[in-house]
Amino acid sequence: MGVRALTQEWMDAYKAAIQADPEYKDIAKNWEGSVALVVLPDPAKGIPETVYLFQDYWHGDVGEFVVCDKDKAESAKFVMTGEYARWKQIARKELDATKALLQGKLKMKGDLPYVVRNIKTVNKVIDILGAFETIWPDEV
């Protein structure tokens, strides 16, 4: 049984999966900073309003993982914004996150060269996300 995407339950499961991953702590040891994912509305796909997700990462540890408001999301060191369909493609490994940023399919506020230098950390958390069963709003 999967967890419904973009909910606090999903964020809790995602955080637990990252903490349980044996390789994550070492791969992410140099990462500093929170990341906000902003999912733009897509009422036809079950996303009636913007969803803000805040994730705190620090040297291989995982802090707060919450569904939040716009102000909290915008306080993150890195703020990535995209359409629901793009986020779903990234989670399913159908779209590479780096390519999505470079092609403008995702917008990011923050230090892109830092993200590129630490791309193994980014790819690892995406791999972890793809490893547990998610129920997407447009598949309910």
Q: Determine the Cα–Cα distance for residues 126 and 140; give it in Å rounded to an integer.
A: 22
Lowest mean pLDDT among 47-51, 53-57, 70-74, 128-132: 128-132
Give every strand in the sheet of 51-58, ordered side by side. Answer: 61-68, 51-58, 32-40, 78-83, 106-109
pLDDT in tens, 66-109: 999 999 999 999 999 999 999 999 999 999 988 998 899 999 99
Instruction: State the average pLDDT for the chain.
Output: 94
| Cα torsion angle, 20, 26, 27, 31, sign | positive
The model's pTM: 0.95
3-state secondary structure of 56: strand
User: Is position 12 within any domain?
Assistant: yes
DSSP state of 5: T
Domain assignment of residue 64, given as a range: 3-134
Number of domains present in the structure of the chain: 1
Instruction: Decide if 139 is inside a domain.
Output: no
Condensed to tens digits (0 to 9), the pLDDT of residues 15-33 reads 999 999 999 999 999 999 9
pLDDT computed for residue 2 by the predictor = 87
> What CATH number should be reported for the domain holding residue 78?
3.30.1050.10
